Chain A
C-alpha cells in the first residue's frame, strides 16, 4: 500500500525516463520542487507544476543530484517560473562549466538543456519545504555528490537514486574507478540508521516498507561486491534502455553506433564484453528483448 504523505507534498510520478517531481506547497504564495525530470518531457513538467501549485509562485527547484533525468527540466522550469535553482555543492564546478563528459550526457547517449544555478547545498544544510524541516545528507554511490533529504519530525526520506523500492541507481562511480561500492554501503547504512517511516524515491512510488527495501538493496550490493563485472553489464543494460526510452524507436545500427561512439561504452565493452559494437548491440538487444525491457518492431527496437 502506498503510504499517506503530508498534504503539503505531492509526488508527480511518471515513467523511468523522468525522475519524480516532488512538489511542496510552502505557503499560500510559494512552492518548491525537488528534481525536474528529463529534458524531452519539460513542457509537460511545467504544465504539471502549474496544475499542482495553482496561483502560487514556484520559488525554488532543488536537485538531489545532477543526472539528466533529474535536471533535464531545470532550464524550462526556471524560464517558466523564475525559480531559484539549488544543486549539491559537489556538482557546482561541472554544472558551471557544463562539462558534458563529467555530467554523463553525450558520453551516455543522453540529452539535457544547460541551466544556471543560484546556490548550492552541502551535507548538513537544513531547509524548510512544505512547512517541514529537512536536512541534507550526503548519499554517495550512484553519484558521489548526491544528497538525500530527511525530515526527522515526519520521519520521511527523499532518497533520490540512493534507494528505490527495488534497488538503487547504477553505481557509475565504481565504473570510473571511484570507491562507489563502499560508498553505497555507507549510504545504505546511513539510511538504515535513520530508519524512515516513508521513502520518496527519485523513481517509482513512495513506499513504507523501508526495511524490506533496504534488505533488497543490500542483497543487490552484495551481488555487485561479489562480482563487480555485474556492475558494467547492469550499466550497459540500463543505459541502452534509457537511450531507447528517450528516442522511442532506434535501429540496431543506431544502438551499435551509440556503443561504438561514446568513450564510456567503449571502455566498458573493453572491460567486460570485448565484442565488436554490432555484435554487442545485437547481444544486448536480444537480452533486453528476452527480459521484456525492449521489443523488436520490424527494423526498429522499441521500449518493451
Chain B
C-alpha cells in the first residue's frame, strides 16, 4: 500500500515509521525545517519539505499516483480538512484519515464529509467517562456513517431491568442489546435472557435513543 502522511510531528512520524516497518510505502510531508532535517535522515527521499496544503508540494509527494490512503495529522484542523478534501476531490484518493485537534471542529469535518477522524481529546474523554461512575451509560464506539453507536450499561440491584427478561423490557425502537457480560463471560442474549445485577450489557442504538434506553434499563 502507498500511504501519504501529511504532518511530521510525533503523530505523523510514528505513523509513517510503523507503516514502513510493516512493509508499506510511505511519503511524509513536513513544513518545519528543523523537523524535516530529522525526518530526512530517517526517511531519506520519502521525506518532503513544504506546506502540505500546497498543491505542488502534494504532487511532489506523489498525490497524483494517487496514494491508497492519505493521513492528515498536522496540528491545524483547517489544514487537515483541506488536505483530505483536495486528496479526495481532485486526486481521487480512495481513503483519508484526519486528525481533529480541537473537538469543536468535528462538525466541520462531518460537513465536508471527511471521515474517519481521530481526536485525542475525545478519546481521553471516552476513557474518563469509563472511569467516572455517574456516567451510567458509556459510549464505546460511534459508527458515524452507519448512524449507530454502541454503549455499555452496568445493571445493578436498583435497576428496574434487573430480574427481568429482555422480552419484557420496553426497549426503545432503534436499539438492541447485543451482549451480556456476566462473571467474566460474554453471551449473546435472546429475548428469554434475564438481566441480573452486576451484568454489563452492550447495546447498539441510533444516536439520540440514549435517554430512552437509560430509562428502561437503569432509571431508579
Do A and B share a complex?
A: no
